[in-house]
Amino acid sequence: MRILLQTSSANAGEWRAALAAALPEAEVALWPEVPFAVDYLAVWKPAPELFRATPAVKAVFNLGAGVDALLQVPTLPAGVPVIRLEDAGMADQMVEYVTLAVLAAFREQGAYAGQQREGRWRQRPRLRREDFGIGLLGFGVLGQTVAAALARFGFPLAGWSRGRKAVAPVRCFAGAAELPAFLARSQALVCLLPSTPDTRGLLDRTRLLRLPRGAHLVNVARGDIVVDADLVGVLDDGHLASATLDVFREEPLPPGHPFWHHPRITVTPHVSAVTLVDDSAAQIAAKIRRLEQGLPVTGIVDRERGY
Ligand code: NDP
Ligand code: OXD
C-alpha cells in the first residue's frame, strides 16, 4: 500500500523512516512529492492542495490527538475516515505536566515564590487535600489517565464529559447542565477538551467565575477554549490564583501578549505532551493493517461532534 506523509516539523525524515520500518510492505512518500496514487495519508495541519492531489485516499491519519486544525481544511474529503492518535505515549507526558502544575498549586508554590522575592519568611496555613477538588474538564483518553495518576494523592477528583462515565473514584459529571456544579467544586481545573464548535470560548468570564475563589486553571488542550481577556480579568481581580497555560489561540504566543508577563500565569510552548514518532508510527501501522483486513479501528473522528 502507498502512504503519503505530510508534516511541517523538522523531523519529517524521522517520521518517514519510522513509518517505513513499522510497515515494511508499504511505500512511503513525503509531501509535496506525490509519486503514486495514495492509499493513506498521515498529516499534521495540511495545506488544502494536499487533498486535491490525493483523490482516492482510503483514510486520513492525524499526527496528533486533536483534529481541530485538520477538520477546518476545506478540501478534506467528506466520507473518508479521519483517524486521530489515541495516547501513543502522550498520556504519560500529560500526567507529568498536570501533576507538576496541580501539586505546585496545592503547595502554593506561586505564593512562596512571591514571598521569597520580598525576602519574607512566612509559613502559610496547610491546605487540606480533601478540600482541594480537581476537575478534569474533558474526561477522555488523556483526562482519564491523568485522573488515575492523581488518585494516589487523595484529592477529590471529578471529570466532565459529554456522555456520562462511571470511573471510580472520580465523580463524573456530564453535559452542559452539570457544568456549573462541576466547576464549583474544582479548586484546580484541568482542561483536556478538544477544540470544537461546542467548546471554543467555553471558559469565559461567567464560567471562570463559577470556580471557587482562589482556584487554579491548567490548560493543556487548546488555546481557543479560553477567552484570553476574561482569564486575565479573573486573575487580576483575584478570583483565580493562577493559570498554567501550554496552548494558545495563536502559537507561538505573540510577543506583547498579556500572558507573557502576567505574574500569575505560567507559559510553556505547547510541550505538555509531544507526539512521539515511533509510538505514533506503530499505532498508525497497526490500524492500517486492520483496515487492509477489513477490521474496525478505534480513534475514528466523529466529524459532526468535531472530535
Ligand atoms: P478524547 O476525545 O479522548 O477526550 C475528549 C473528552 O472531551 C471526552 O471526555 C469528551 O466527552 C469530552 N468532550 C468533548 N466535547 C465535549 C462537550 N461539548 N461537552 C462535554 N465534554 C466534551 O481526547 P484526548 O483525551 O485524547 O485529547 C483531548 C485533547 O487534548 C485533544 O483534542 C487535544 O486538543 C489536546 N491535546 C493537547 C496536547 C498538548 O500537547 N498540549 C497533546 C495531546 C492532546 P465524551 O467522552 O463523552 O466523548
Ligand atoms: C495534539 C497536540 O493534539 O500535540 O496531539 O496538540
Model pLDDT for residues 176-187, shown as the tens digit of each residue: 999 999 999 999
Largest CA distance in the chain: 69
Average pLDDT of the chain is: 98
Q: Which residues line ligand 2 (CB under 6 A)?
A: 64-66, 275
Question: Is the per-residue pLDDT at 29 higher than 90?
Answer: yes
Return the pLDDT at 8.
82
From the candidates 185, 249, 270, 303, give the one annotated as an active-site residue.
270
Ligand approaching nearest to the C-alpha of 268? 1
- Whole-angstrom distance, CA of residue 91 vs CA of residue 176: 26
Q: Ligand 1 centroid vs 192 CA: distance in angstroms?
A: 5
Measured over the CA atoms of residue 221, residue 224, residue 229 and residue 234, the dihedral's sign is negative
Known catalytic residue at 262 = no
| pLDDT range class, residue 168, cuts 50, 70, 90 | very high
Asked if 54 and 273 count as a contact pair (C-beta separation under 8 A), the reply is no
Ligand nearest to the CA of 163: 1
Selected catalytic residue, list 222, 262, 290, 305? 222
Q: Which ligand is nearest to the CA of 223?
A: 1
Atom of ligand 1 at shortest range from CA of 273: 40
- pLDDT bucket at 14, cuts 50 / 70 / 90: very high
Model confidence pLDDT, tens digit, residues 219-261: 999 999 999 999 999 999 999 999 999 999 999 999 999 999 9
Residue nearest to atom 1 of ligand 1 (CA): 140
Q: Is the pLDDT of residue 10 over 90?
A: no
| Residue 66 in grid coordinates | 486533536
Rounded to an integer, what distance in angstroms lies between the CA atom of residue 115 and that of residue 133? 25
Ligand 2 centroid, distance to 220 Cα (angstroms): 9
Q: How far is the CA of 275 from the centre of ligand 2 (A)?
A: 7
Annotation marks residue 222 as catalytic: yes
- CA of residue 180 to ligand 1 center, whole Å: 19
Q: Say if CB 142 and CB 90 are below 8 A apart.
A: yes
Query: What is the CA 6 to chain-centroid distance, rounded?
Result: 21
On whether the pTM is more than 0.95, the answer is yes
146-155, pLDDT tens digit by residue?
999 999 999 9
Atom of ligand 2 nearest to the CA of 66: 3
